[in-house]
Amino acid sequence: MYDDLRKSMTWPHTWFGLVVGFVLMVCFFFGALSVFDREIDRWAIPETRFEPQPMPSFDKMLLPILQRVEPDEADYAANMPKLHDASQGPMTPRLELPADEYWAYTTHRDPVLRMGVGFGVPLAKDPDGHNHIHGEVTIDPRTGAIVPDDALKIGSRWFYPLHYSLNWTWKNLGYWIVGLAGLTMLVALVTGVIMHRKIFREFFTFRPAKHTRRSTLDLHNLTGVVALPFHFFFAFTGLLIFGSWLYFPAGSTLLEPLHHQHEVHEAAATGLPHKAAGVPAPMASVDAMVVEAKRRWAARDMAGEVGFLQVHHVGDANSYVSIFRAGSDRVALVGEGIHFKASTGEVLYEDPPRTVVSEINEFLTGLHLQHFEHWLLRWLYVLGGLLGCVCIATGFVFFVERRKQRHAEAGSQGSRVVDALAVSTVTGMVIAAIGMLVANRLLPADLAGKGDWEKIAFWGIWALALVHALVRSGPVARARMNPAWREQCWAIAALAVAAVGLNWITTGDHLIKTMLTAPYWAVAGVDLSLLASVGIAAWSARKLALREQLGAQARPAQPAGDTAEVAHV
């Protein structure tokens, strides 16, 4: 009965893994890159290559900039008609929308500072809802100079959202696809564990000298078992993070009236006004409030800098200022908020210690989002993500190797198509990512819409990789290896060398400088990672060339009694 259960797990493990594996590869790879998204930003935008700064003066620097921020044109065009109640009158012109909230955010890894304004919608359909048109800006906190918006933050604004939304925001389809893939991944993990009853043995079983099918399966099992807790945790917590916001948004659907009522009661209990009073009032010194917040944190033995600052109901008698401590010294997210009455500067409320449930939620969320300052753990995250990529990639290869002889004899093109998709997903994805960095250094810094051109380069290079994999997949139909694997590995090596060289030529930041004479590890780390990619890609290309030669010889017979491989049929 146990053997029957194991065999019954083969079908969902194989086909679920194949169908969602292409999405999961994107999630794992770009999730691994996102661990150092701010460092990639600094590599991509040389103007931001300076040390992270503490939150600057709100009164002297941030407030004058915030007062000049305008509502985003695209946000206004897309959302204003949805929020505005036409029965009450015409829409308020974009530049006449009143500022309702200010915010500023920074971390221990951000040299630049993000800030923005939430503009209120005067005649809103739902006065109690979230009625804001947004405007954002990024500045150099040393001088207050604005960093151009068309300078794409490749790490935090492209690679990072790619791993959880595929950068497909229309109808939130990208989020749903990734969520389905994450849920299916949990099924694949559970079925994989059931299939491998001697799971401890997989830690020590890797036979690289065996034929491709055997060695690939060994590596698939090894990487799956070694990083199993990592894979399960990140799939599960990823679903939790988006669960209440997108997948099960009860607070904004069925329970929306109860949610509004809870906000009103919470405002009464904390003394933080839920609505504006409609009475104008000036704002006291926010800098003085920051000083008081730091004093209170120090008194609680948690001295630190400000990570997030928000002004609610700007210019109103009910306006209040929320100041949150940067949480880089712990796993849980930014907290210990202290809230001040904006017009007087008096403390209205200080966040109490969190409940057990809240503590667990913030810990799990923080562990997934890894905003903490722990470089060894961050590199372990990268390793876990790359192990996930290897596990999925070897699953693809094993799937094709197990079937291509049978498909070749039957004249089927199934293995050829799957193999081409696997090539473009594994090596093609890496080519697209590094190619985007090359485009970043080749395109002029003052080019209008440079970020859009970088996005076009990313998708265009990836599409070319897919076309190349399909064109070169002919040998797979004859039960041979696709040479596109080897050729795209060489392409990765060439592009990575080009990226490092172009960074040197265009900025003068070569490795001797960024490591020795004027150490700047954010940029040096990206260059070193690219050079490591060169070594791995070149080594892989040579090994693949050898495998291609061996593939021309007779295929070794499958060892008798190899139940682990039989279970994967």
pLDDT tens digit sequence for 479-505: 788 999 999 999 999 999 999 999 999
Sheet strand arrangement including 146-147: 146-147, 132-139, 113-120, 99-105, 306-312, 320-325, 335-341, 347-350
Which pLDDT belongs to residue 136? Answer: 94
Residue 119 has phi, psi (to 5 degrees) of: -95, 130
d(CA 178, CA 165) in angstroms, rounded, equals 6
Which pLDDT belongs to residue 559? Answer: 43
**Closest by CA position to 404, among listed 483, 486, 485, 477:** 477
Which pLDDT belongs to residue 259? Answer: 67
104: which strand partners? 115, 309
Which pLDDT belongs to residue 9? Answer: 75
Residue with tokens 């060289």, as numbered in its chain: 501
d(CA 185, CA 498) in angstroms, rounded, equals 36
115: which strand partners? 104, 137
Q: Which uninterrupted H or E stretch holds 519?
A: none
Q: Which uninterrupted H or E stretch holds 526?
A: helix 521-551
Query: What does the DSSP 8-state code read for residue 198?
Result: T
d(CA 480, CA 416) in angstroms, rounded, equals 10
The two three-digit tokens of residue 143, written as one number: 């001088």
pLDDT < 50 stretches in the chain:
1-2, 554, 556-567, 569
Which pLDDT belongs to residue 564? Answer: 45
CB distance 61 to 92 below 8 Å = no
**Closest by CA position to 198, among listed 563, 462, 536:** 563
Residue 265 has phi, psi (to 5 degrees) of: -65, -40
Q: Determine how β-strand 99-105 pairs with β-strand 347-350.
A: unpaired
**Closest by CA position to 491, among listed 462, 512, 519:** 462
Phi-psi bin for 351: left (phi > 0), alpha (psi -120 to 50), beta? beta
**Closest by CA position to 392, among listed 546, 164, 177, 227:** 227
Which pLDDT belongs to residue 3? Answer: 57
d(CA 179, CA 239) in angstroms, rounded, equals 6
CA 135 to mean position of chain CA atoms:
22
Output the pTM of the full model.
Answer: 0.88
Q: What is the number of other CB atoms lying within 10 angstroms of the CB of residue 557? A: 7
7: which strand partners? none
CA 485 to mean position of chain CA atoms:
26
d(CA 55, CA 112) in angstroms, rounded, equals 10
